[in-house]
Amino acid sequence: MHEIAIIGASGYTGAELLRLCASHPDFDVVVATGETKAGTAVADLYPSLAAHYPNLTYSPADPAAADGCDVAFLGLPHGASQTLVPELLGRVGHVVDLAADFRLRDAALYPAWYGEDHEVPALLDEAVYGLPELFRVGLAGARLVAAAGCYPTAASLALAPFMRAGAIETAGIIVDAASGVSGAGRPPKPNTTFCAVDEDYTAYGLTDHRHTPEIEQSIATLADGTTVSGVSVLFTPHLAPMNRGILATCYARPVDGGLDTDGAMAILSDFYADEPFVVVDERSPSTKATLGSNTAHLTARVDPRTGLLLAICAIDNLVKGASGQAVQCANAVLGLDETTGLSTIGVYP
């Protein structure tokens, strides 16, 4: 049994980690921190977790509390992990960070997209990007894993197979993606209250959303770690009036027009043939089909009129887009089967 610490367990990703770890046969959560909820019972904040955690209480975010744990998951706001990770690496076996603090390889991108310099840029070279379907090599035994972001996961799963096949042009890629409100986190915000979100659908982060360079980095990186030059993505996220889910609709131009729908579907099917958490089908993906599961649903078309490739991916933003992805990465790090403790089946209705 592996002892698990969840640092930042009071937010939605932390609660999802607690839910997933509860059904994991090899994980035992011994520490759950929540700085603003210290002293609060987990079952009081999330009654849905009461059956498995009747006596667990949120503790202050003290790195010493995680001493000796096999894995520490970090579900913290951006920037907080940079301060905490250097200390945790000497206290726990492995760190899996759900924030963006260690996802980008180029430290110069952080001030450009996140508005501040990276505090520990030397660790960027050590951090392994946590999207197993694309970057499995390097996960086994890794000390530090930067789990992929929710939007980049959906966009990368849709586009990377075509980029690696050399089937699409590197420039002019467009990603339109919609997320459920849980992607904005648990703390209330004026634009995420029920009255603000209900019966509304809005685009945000126009031309400057911070997930843009992560998407570009992910789809530009090939299986051998080399990168394709000239990759550029116009990414526009949208807020949809639903609790969970991401639907990414991605557009790219095939190289020399040499791709049709059958060929596009074959590329996806062949690429993900052995991946338990990917469904490739002619059906148009649905966010509700992914609810509660760690599975991504994918399809593709080539429009004969415009010549454009259309690739669509649906995921649950809190599972494959965050906490499920983190558990899958932790499984790989520890040498466990990646599917351990994770469902491929969504909850419906």
The pair of structure tokens assigned to 150 is: 């929710």
Structure tokens, 74: 């970090």
Rounded distance, CA 277 to CA 157, Å?
11
Give the residue from 301, 219, 288 showing the smallest Cα distance to 254: 301
CA distance 112 to 296: 30
- Candidate list 150, 250, 313, 329, residue with the active-site label: 150
Cβ–Cβ under 8 Å, residues 289 and 297: yes
Residue pair 331/340 in contact (Cβ under 8 Å)? The answer is: yes
What one-letter code names the amino acid at 275?
A: E
Instruction: Reply yes or no on whether 150 is catalytic.
Output: yes
Hey, what's the torsion of the CAs at 223, 126, 332, 56, to 10 degrees?
Answer: -140
Tokens of 332: 């790989």
Active site residues: 150
